[in-house]
Chains A and B, each alone.
Chain A
């Protein structure tokens, strides 16, 4: 017989206490694993949803000086282009390493036109790409075809444009096919029309003012894609729309931190349960421990026996907690995730961390009872001697 057999037999005799200790840690590990798996699944879904929020990379002409441009709109009138963008360069986007992550490319040509004696900004866009890049657009009427325009909310009010109105632009008569609901963005100020027609109206064939790119960012590093595009398109200034990317990352990291924090906290509480229960168990078994010492067990043997018990219990708690955590996450998933967006995947790192946390907490909680057991005076513990 060895120490392991003693441990297993002793635990099998004290089933109720063993189960109590295991449950104490199991709750913590389950919370840890469950929240972690849930947060991963939610991260995936949030990423997928955030990708619907449109462009996250902006390509503009390279400028020598500072320019006050917000989402492609010139605010101060002193932005000057030194290397214009051309439509023919759009092909370079297909050459980058992460081209597979590009979901949509929206080239845009901006200029001003005279409408009803008022200067109005006109944007030439590809409406098929805009459908992806501006999923939040709500259009009264419809998206324009050739010979038609779409008016931003404020542009329509200032220019007094209504659906079906006709207006003269640079010698062409265009019909208002749709009006945008307010977006709270520069789009409210603009008139939108088919880009080839705008090129003709502005007499800038093949030129672009900016290009919006929507990258599927789940699993792709936007910053790396920015660098790849800059390398492939030397005349362009490329930037990630940081507010979207950073906001997304911040929200996800907060949720992850909450998950880990909650998991660790619950596990620490579980560890305290183990500590208290094992301490009580050691006190209860003082005679038995006294006997071990009397028949020749060293203090280190006693410490080892108590820690081996907590190791077995915490390993069982770790495995059980992992299973319960996954099961709980699977049950909660439909409540937290809409539609079919979420599916559970067990990250091996999470599994290992949860098990390791359980073992470490078990050992930490076992140290004090183990030392207390080893310090027992055998003659006091046996009493009868």
Chain B
């Protein structure tokens, strides 16, 4: 087997279970346990699903259902106790620590509920953060970062510090940071959790646009209104995937109704 996308052949998946287009994300029997052997907590239990390129999926469920754990596993941040995560055919936990870091850098983008912008860097520098470890001309880094800021509509605030802009603008800058390396998968944890409705909708529209452009977007949310922007909703309960729902209606149309998978 030849290498795919620069990653070793042994980390590639075994292939598609059917004849459909290869999935962008494939969770195979994912389980995650925490704690000491005598007091194990099973956060995820044998979760399987596939997401196609350009799909926008929301993960929903009550607190403690395993949403954040699942996002962490999909983000190559925390190894599963059992199962595999294939992203664009690459078994991310078959990669070594450095290669997995390189994979996150080049292929994944993260948006966090708390934004996690460095308070001592202005918005432009925050967006340039993922480029700090890339070999690239500083002019190009700057141009890319400005482009990402423009894409989310806050390029005019490039020289402001995070505490000099609103929460919505911080969230947009955090999205620009996630986009600056042009990832194929965007993972967002409660991206509207700290935003008012107007700013929340702007962010959700942006995520939907990105998905429409071909990026696979996975979002954890408690908000049903935010989830309606996604084309698919994965419902978790007690660590299990209990429903996989495809939404047929775009949120702008507000016609209600969902189609089960």
Contacts and interface: CB of A to CB of B under 8 A. Distances in A.
Contacts of B106: 296
Contacts of B189: 384-385
A12 B130 CA distance: 21
B125 interface: yes
Contact of A379 (B72, B113, B119, B125): B72
Contacts of A340: none
Interface in A172-225: none
Contacts of A13: 119-120
Contacts of B68: 384-385
Interface string B103-127: 1111010101110101111000100
A379 B71 CA distance: 10
Nearest to A298: B101
A293 interface: yes
Interface string A1-15: 111011001101100
B166 interface: no
B131 interface: yes
A3 B125 contact: no
Contact of B133 (A297, A379, A382, A385): A297
From B116, B119, B121, name the one whose CB has the most chain A CB atoms within 10 angstroms: B116
A6 B112 CA distance: 21
Nearest to B178: A295
Contact of A296 (B102, B112, B190): B102
A298 B120 contact: no
B138 A1 contact: yes
Contacts of A300: 98
A299 B78 contact: no
B132 A384 contact: no
Interface string A299-319: 111000000000000000000
Given A1-B132, A13-B119, A298-B101, A379 B78 contact: yes
Nearest to A8: B120
B118 A288 contact: yes
Nearest to B177: A295
B130 A296 contact: yes
Interface string B41-54: 00000000000000
Interface string A347-385: 000000000000000000000000000000111101011
A291 interface: yes
B172 interface: no
A379 B110 contact: no
B125 A1 contact: yes
Given A298-B97, A298-B101, A384-B189, A3 B138 contact: no
Interface in A247-306: 287-288, 291-301
A377 B121 CA distance: 24
A284 to B, nearest CB: 13
B97 A299 contact: yes
A5 B142 CA distance: 14
B84 interface: no
Contact of A385 (B77, B130, B141): B77
Contacts of A378: 77-78
A18 B114 CA distance: 26
B133 A301 contact: yes
Contact of B75 (A6, A12, A294): A294
B128 interface: yes
A382 B102 contact: no
A293 B138 contact: no
A301 B130 CA distance: 12
Given A2-B132, A9-B125, A385-B72, A298 B78 contact: no
Contact of A298 (B98, B113, B131): B98
A380 B114 CA distance: 15
Contacts of B177: 295
B90 to A, nearest CB: 15
B129 A1 contact: yes
A299 B120 contact: no
A296 B112 CA distance: 15
A385 B112 contact: yes
B71 A295 contact: no
Contacts of A295: 104-105, 110, 129-130, 177
Given A295-B110, A296-B181, A298-B133, A5 B125 contact: yes
A359 B141 CA distance: 31
Given A6-B132, A384-B68, A385-B68, A12 B120 contact: yes
A384 B112 contact: yes
Given A1-B138, A287-B116, A294 B132 contact: no
Interface in B62-105: 68, 71-72, 75, 77-78, 97-98, 101-105
A111 B7 CA distance: 100
13 contacts: A1-B125, A1-B128, A2-B138, A5-B132, A6-B132, A10-B120, A288-B118, A292-B129, A294-B75, A294-B104, A296-B181, A298-B101, A384-B112
Given A3-B132, A298-B97, 12 more contacts: A1-B121, A9-B121, A288-B118, A291-B112, A293-B101, A294-B110, A295-B130, A296-B130, A297-B101, A298-B133, A377-B78, A385-B72
